[in-house]
Amino acid sequence: MTIDTPKTELLGTILLVDDDSINLTVFGQCLMSDYSVLAATSGPRALEIAHATPQPDLILLDIMMPGMDGYEVMNKLKESPQTRDIPVIFVTALTSDLDESRGFELGAVDYIYKPCNLATLSARVGTQIELKKARDRLRDQNSFLEADLQRRLRENQLIQLELLENEKLAAIGQLAAGIAHEINNPLGFIYSNFNTLQNYNREIFELLDAYECYVGETDNLPELLEKIQRLKVEKELDFLRRDMKELLLECRDGLTRVRDIIQNLRQFADGNDSEWQLTDINNALEVTLGIFAHGMNGALKIHKDFADIPPIQCLPARLNQVFLSLLVNASQAIETAGDIFVRTGHDQQQIWVEITDTGHGIAPEHLPHVFEPFFSTHPLGKSIGLGLSTSQSIVGAHHGKIEVSSTPNQGTTFTVRLPVRQETGNQAV
């Protein structure tokens, strides 16, 4: 049943539930000037209307009804996710404290006794409708804020990824000049050897042409052999033979060096950054040290002390990035000449990589800040101060830890600890 209401500026929809149609009419007339009023004379019908659209903003529910009583209707309303948030006021002739407290226990927002003063009814309905509207507004704002938060989180993740990528390129970039030099050096002597070999090649073919010519000119064998012997001496054939062998060996050596550098670079960046793989960290360190050594000046001495550590499940390209950042930092801390020690070790739970340098160390007041994004003591424009914060996020995604200890003017040690087994699901970095 719907009680007709004027359609202007209604404050909400109210469902009246009562088996007595006189009550429905009296309450309906009291409320219809301000609300759209729906009515039901039984519990099942009330539930039907509560699930239909438009949903009531408030239900006034009688308790004593034949068949399904108000308590049961209330229980069913609370069971259904669609209707559990609709506020319910019990309107009843039951006046005992026990009934009232049972009603509140079931989730009623108010309790009104019949017969009731209509002005009181209207005021209490008004209060509940206001509260409901405020709750709805809050819920809408919350879902808007939640959606906004999710969007910002996604944006942050993208920025983080971009920074991670930039930091990797920056670390390689710092080594790029050295790597280019390392490639250029062998290429330089291969190129020069190649020119010499081209000359030798020409000489040998000239020698062969001369042999052919002599054979056509004379059939006097001793004379022929003597001419050939003279030519061999003139063309320094023995020297050519020795030197060609040496030049070819040198070329081969240079090409192997270029191939190794390129292989190291490829392994360092190894394909998919987000692919978890069972990895030998000693091996990953060798690859990274390979890249690092190509790019650094000769005044640095690297000392390796690798224990026999078990392979771990990790993102190798990301960890290589961490090791390279730590090595670059170590080399930047060494002003002229110095040493970098790279050690590995393990126990039952974890493996660790320790990178120690004999550089200038970190001032005690800087130590608590080194992992903060954009903290850098290097001149503006030279570094952005993301190496350690990026490394910390990468190690964190591996459920590991990165620690630092430093003594000014003596050196610094960074220790990366990584679990042997990844207990929980692998995170993206």
Ligand X SMILES: Nc1ncnc2c1ncn2[C@@H]1O[C@H](COP(=O)(O)OP(=O)(O)OP(=O)(O)O)[C@@H](O)[C@H]1O
Closer by beta carbon to ligand X, 151 or else 304: 304
By CB under 6 A, the count of residues binding ligand X is 23
Site map for Mg ion, 277-316, x if CB under 5 A? ----------------------------------------
- Helix (H) or strand (E) segment spanning residue 302: strand 300-305
Instruction: Using CB positions, name the residue nearest to ligand X.
Output: 387
Q: Exposed, middle or buried: residue 72 (CB in 10 Å: 0-12, 13-18, 19+)?
A: middle
Residues in 380-399 that interact with Mg ion by CB under 5 A = 387
Return the residues of window 152-181 that contact ligand X according to CB under 6 A.
170
* Measured distance CA(281)–CA(418) in Å, rounded: 10
Interface with ligand X, residue 320, by CB under 6 A: no
Cβ closest to Mg ion, residue 329 vs residue 350: 329
For ligand X, the closer of residues 232 and 366 by Cβ is: 366
Contacts of 256 (CB under 8 A, 6+ apart): none
- With CB under 6 A as the contact rule, the residue among 77, 322, 388, 394 that binds ligand X is 388
Torsion of CA 27, 33, 34, 38, to 10 degrees: 50
Contact predicate 114/92, CB 8 Å: yes
Measured between alpha carbons, how far is 47 from 73 in angstroms, rounded to an integer? 7
Rounded distance between C-alpha atoms, residue 180 and residue 261, angstroms: 10
Closest distance to ligand X from the beta carbon of 321 (Å)? 11
Residue 418 contacts residue 398 (beta carbons within 8 Å): yes
- N-to-C CA span, the chain: 59
316-345 residues in contact with Mg ion (CB under 5 A) are: 329
Which of Mg ion, ligand X, none does residue 261 bind to, with CB < 5 to 8 Å depending on kind?
A: none
Residue whose C-alpha is closest to residue 333's, from 367, 366, 349, 356: 356
**Longest Cα–Cα distance in the chain:** 147
**Residue position matching structure tokens 């007595």:** 20
Residue count, binding to Mg ion (CB under 5 A): 2
Pairing mode of beta strands 110-113, 88-92 = parallel
Residue 412's binding partner among ligand X, Mg ion, none (Cβ under 5 to 8 angstroms by kind) is ligand X
**Nearer residue to ligand X within complex by CB, 247 or 395:** 395
Among 126, 290, 385, 419, interactor with ligand X by CB under 6 A: 385
| Residues 361-380 contacting ligand X, CB under 6 A | 361-362, 366, 370, 375-378
Candidate ranges 279-287, 305-313, 379-387, 419-427; the one touching Mg ion (CB under 5 A):
379-387
**Do 11 and 35 meet the contact criterion of CB atoms below 8 Å apart?**
yes
> Which is closer to ligand X, CB of 113 or CB of 375?
375
DSSP 57-81: SEEEE-S--SSS-HHHHHHHHHHST
Which of the residues 324 through 363 are near ligand X (CB under 6 A)?
Answer: 325, 329-330, 333, 357, 359, 361-362
Please, which residue, 46 or 342, has the CB nearer to Mg ion? 342
- For ligand X, the binding residues (CB under 6 A) are 170, 325, 329-330, 333, 357, 359, 361-362, 366, 370, 375-378, 383-389, 412
- For Mg ion, the binding residues (CB under 5 A) are 329, 387
